[in-house]
Amino acid sequence: MTPVGTEPELADRVLGGWLGRIAGNMLGKPVEQGDLWTRDRIDRYLRRAAALPLTDYLPAPADGDGDELRPEWRECVRGRIHGSCRDDDVDYAILGLDLLERHGFAFSTEQVGELWLLRLPYRQTFTAERAAYRNLANGLRPPLTATYDNPYQEWIGALIRADIYGWTCPGAPRRAASLARRDAVLSHTGNGVYGAMWAAALVAAAFTAPTVRHAVDQALAVVPASCRLARTVRRVVSLHDARLAWEDTLTTAAEETSGLGWIHTVPNAAVLTAGLLYGDGDFTRTITLTVRGGLDTDSNGATAGSVAGVLTGARAIPGQWKDPLEDTVRSAVFGFDGARISELAERTVRLAVAEATPAQSGSRSV
């Protein structure tokens, strides 16, 4: 028996996490520019296309309306999807899987950096990850890789790397957060690290929590209560508990986090928390509300999809989200382009089962 129950149940939940991450990422990718694609603008786009309520991938733009979408929209809108688009939000989940297979759960931050240099092209890194990569290439070591010439230390990059630690520590949010922290400090500090810990714990808690609200509460317990990320998440929870409308909750959160920028971890955690709470365990509602919330839409959609996919399991994810993925992932991680999503999930399950069986959880290589 696994911490979740039977191994087939665990396998379905892990596959749900992978499918949810990829589907949520692709849903948000065409409008991933939070200073341009605001919440109001996203909804105006959807209204023009008669696509509200949103229950599928974004509709293709009308003639002349696609100029301000991300150029990848042609591979990410409904009716045009054949396998996943390449994106760093998925690359880092794959890279984390490779890390755990190579070095086991006792990996070091230095080994995370070594694997980046080995497997990840420099030009497919962004913001804090690019700064850390450059620092690694110039011979710096952690934690200096996170702090030298890096103005992005509290941005969302470490959070998007965290899911693999939740998937491999089902029902063990503190363990997942500890692993995510070891990864995150390569490139981030402060709320950037806390965001990664919170996200990993959220995914891990989703395996055993009776509701998404319980998972949110468990995830809050792994980060300092006084940090801004925790205070912002608690604020969104309180507004939800007060039965404010989803739109009003996001308006309040945006006012209270104004000035941090659309890629900063804290305002994105607010959007993500709102999507999860108001989605209330429904896969479609969770990822569509999260993406409609704006800011870093593909990253937030990916994490929301991962949590919702773990909660529901792969079998319960509606076909319009998973069928167009054709069990295929595109990736910039060397050796993984064209991998089967189902195979990545199977490898993740093997790690989770081994971690739950200490005698078998030694370091492995591929």
* Percent of the chain with pLDDT strictly greater than 90: 93
Does residue 235 lie in a domain region? yes
Does residue 190 lie in a domain region? yes
User: What confidence score (pLDDT) does residue 358 get?
Assistant: 56
- Look at the block and give the residue holding tokens 């804290």: 266
Type and span of the H or E element at 322 = helix 319-322
pLDDT bracket for residue 261 (50, 70, 90): very high
If DSSP codes are grouped into helix, strand and coil, which group holds residue 155?
strand
User: What confidence score (pLDDT) does residue 62 get?
Assistant: 84
pLDDT beyond 50 at 253: yes
Does residue 352 lie in a domain region? yes
Does residue 364 lie in a domain region? no
Total structural domains within the chain = 1
Check if the beta carbon of residue 94 is closer than 8 Å to that of residue 344: yes
DSSP for 229-240, please give it.
Answer: HHHHHHHHHHHH
Does residue 343 lie in a domain region? yes
- Look at the block and give the residue holding tokens 């955690």: 269
pLDDT beyond 50 at 360: no
Check if the beta carbon of residue 329 is closer than 8 Å to that of residue 344: yes
Does residue 237 lie in a domain region? yes
If DSSP codes are grouped into helix, strand and coil, which group holds residue 2?
strand
Question: In this structure, what DSSP letter does residue 16 have?
Answer: H
pLDDT bracket for residue 115 (50, 70, 90): very high
- The encoded tokens of residue 170 equal 């089902």
User: What confidence score (pLDDT) does residue 5 get?
Assistant: 75
Side chain identity, residue 234: R
pLDDT beyond 60 at 362: no
CA–CA gap between residue 69 and residue 191 (Å, rounded): 29
- The encoded tokens of residue 47 equal 């209204």
- Mean pLDDT of the region 264-269: 98
Tell me the angle at which helices 39-48 and 283-292 cross, rounded to the nearest 10 degrees.
120
User: What confidence score (pLDDT) does residue 242 get?
Assistant: 98
Does residue 84 lie in a domain region? yes
Q: 19 is in which domain, residue-wise?
A: 7-358
The pTM score is 0.95
pLDDT beyond 70 at 361: no
Check if the beta carbon of residue 30 is closer than 8 Å to that of residue 76: yes
Tell me, what CATH number does 56's domain have?
A: 1.10.4080.10
Does residue 348 lie in a domain region? yes
pLDDT beyond 80 at 364: no
CA–CA gap between residue 141 and residue 126 (Å, rounded): 19
Among the ranges given (63-67, 70-74, 185-189, 214-218), the one the predictor scored with the smallest mean pLDDT? 63-67
CA–CA gap between residue 35 and residue 259 (Å, rounded): 12
